[in-house]
Amino acid sequence: MTKECSNSLRGHDDFWPPVCGDYVVGDPEAKVAVVTLASRLRAEGAAISGPCKTENLGVEKIVANTISNCNIRFLIICGVESKGHLPGDTLLALHRNGIDEQGRIIGSKGAIPFIQNLPPEAVRRFQEQVELIDCIGLEDEDEIALQIERYNRLAEPYPGEPFLVVKRKAAREEIWAGEGDLILGAETAMDTAAWLVFAEEN
């Protein structure tokens, strides 16, 4: 589910970044976002920076927080890769290949590379809006700052509205209790399928 906001002039809305996480927000008008993978590094001059250790939820957060700010045109991937999970490789694969019908990130070598909470249009927008700069392994903060400075000068904001990802809320279903499969005592039972506690009838 997506909704448009009316902040195209600034490139982002008042509540950017929309998804919480382990990151530092810099200048929202900057053109560069930085992911430091398993390393903790300073990234001066970036719009947003922080680590990412997982190839599914972590990658989703990066996508959601970059496409919701049209100013961000580059994502620098640096720091040491998170072993086994390989979020850096997964970001590159997502950008290059996208996802299949199940949400699996095509071509990722990560352990469980899936996009679950983003619509396919968000992935397409990520591919269009952001260019990835593969600096995996780079931990030199001065060099990272130079890269940020260089790429900040290279681009204009993405021509469009910020893309906000809003998670769909499931409609509440009427709850039916079946047989109690978990006994709480005092003639009280629970149907764990419906997660409903009830008094047992004699």
Partner 1 sequence: MFRFKHEQTIVNVGGVKFGGQPGELPTVLCGTIFYQGHRIVQDDALGVFDRLAAELLVSRQAELSEETGNPAILHLYARTIEAAERYLAFADDAWDGPLIIDSADPSVRSASAQLVSEIGYADKSIYNSISVATGEAEAQAIRDSEMDSAIILAYNPANSSVDGSLQVLETGGSVKEKGLISLANDAGLVNLLIDPGIVPLGSGAGSALRFSVVVKARLGLPTGSGIHNAVSAWPWLRSADKATKWCCDAAASALQLGAAGDFLLYGPIESAKFIFPAAAMADIMIAEAVRDLEIEPALEHPLNRLV
Binding mask 43-62 for partner 1 (x = CB under 8 A): -------------xx-----
How far apart (Å, rounded) are the C-alpha atoms in residues 37 and 136? 8
DSSP state of 37: T
The number of residues that bind partner 1 (CB under 8 A) is 26
Shortest Å, Cβ 131 to partner 1: 26
- E strands, 27-168, are 32-35, 48-50, 74-77, 131-134, 163-165
Q: How far is the CB of 181 from partner 1 (least distance, A)?
A: 5
Shortest distance, position 92 Cβ to partner 1, whole Å: 18
The conformational region for residue 181 under phi > 0 = left, psi -120 to 50 = alpha, else beta, is alpha
Q: Which of residues 110-129 bind partner 1 (CB under 8 A)?
A: 111-114, 116
Residues forming beta bridges with residue 189, ordered by sequence position: 183, 198
Window 126-165: contact mask with partner 1 (x via CB under 8 A): ----------------------------------------
CB-CB contact of 162 with 13 (8 Å): yes
User: What pairs with residue 114 in β-bridges?
Assistant: 104
Give the one residue of 22, 140, 149, 187 binding partner 1; rule: CB under 8 A.
22
- Name the site residues for partner 1 (rule: CB under 8 A): 20-22, 56-57, 83-85, 102-104, 111-114, 116, 180-185, 190, 192-193, 195
